[in-house]
Amino acid sequence: MQELNGKIAAVTGAASGIGLASTEAMLAAGATVVLVDRDEKALETVCSRLGERAIPLVINLLNPNECAGLLEGVLAKTGKLDILHANAGTYIGGDLVETDLDTIDRMLNLNVNVVIKNVHNVIPHMIDRGTGDIVVTSSVAGHSAIPWEPVYSSSKWAMTCFVQTMRRQLLKNGIRVGSVSPGPVISALLADWPEENLRKAKEAGALIEPKEVADAIIFMLTRPRNVTIRDIVVLPSAFDI
């Protein structure tokens, strides 16, 4: 069933990982998807494989001017926006005392500030239309204080709060806001995990694929309009935290 037939979605960080899996799932459900990423070459490769309903939009979200042009770029290509999947993010772990200050700034900017700016950018359009869906990629680290990732976990706690506040602000406008909070996902972000933690997770089977997160996102988007899935936590069954 193509339950998203006719819908226009924008996915940030769409060239790989959860963003790409989310894009593929939405396309399979009938949507047209604008893939937002800074990696132009990767976008070209992915969109040529996915077909004409996959539309590339090259934006460096850490550039304030480019970030502010997200909605304008989407509307120039599609004319409307029904779904925003604010997925772009990065990861750092380890002891805070050993963490580079520039790295902290970059991660908090991408994981927190950019998401807030993206939502701020698109909601006037959705309010005018009286409908819309916003899904934020959070993390199980936004629900539990993870001692080996104090900065990352803090950024995802911020997203848990942001999603809950924006859901309350926007429900009167017909806009649903929710987040998907995965456990460890097999992606490039895990390259920054402490080696011992990654080894143990692999040995225990405590990892999930991006597609399994995308399945949860499709579930959220295809509920009746009177139902909001505020947060789904998606864990590998062998993950103990």
Establish whether 152 is a catalytic residue: yes
Which pTM was predicted?
0.92
Residue 97 backbone zone (phi > 0: left; psi -120 to 50: alpha; other: beta): alpha
In sequence order, what DSSP letters do the residues of 185-234 get, joined into one string? Answer: BSSGGGGGS-HHHHHHHHHHT--B-HHHHHHHHHHHHTS-TT----EEEE
Q: Which domains are delineated in the chain?
A: 8-234 (3.40.50.720)
Please tell me the predicted confidence (pLDDT) of residue 194.
Answer: 66
Please state, in angstroms and rounded to a whole number, the distance separating the CA atoms of residues 86 and 170.
16
Q: Which residues contact 33 (CB under 8 A, 6 or more apart)?
A: 8, 9, 10, 11, 14, 23, 26, 27, 53, 54, 55
In tens, the pLDDT along 20-43 reads 999 999 999 999 999 999 999 999
Please tell me the predicted confidence (pLDDT) of residue 232.
Answer: 96
Please tell me the predicted confidence (pLDDT) of residue 190.
Answer: 61
Residue 143 backbone zone (phi > 0: left; psi -120 to 50: alpha; other: beta): alpha
Secondary structure class of 57 (helix, strand, coil)? strand
Residue of 91, 152, 157, 162 marked active site: 152
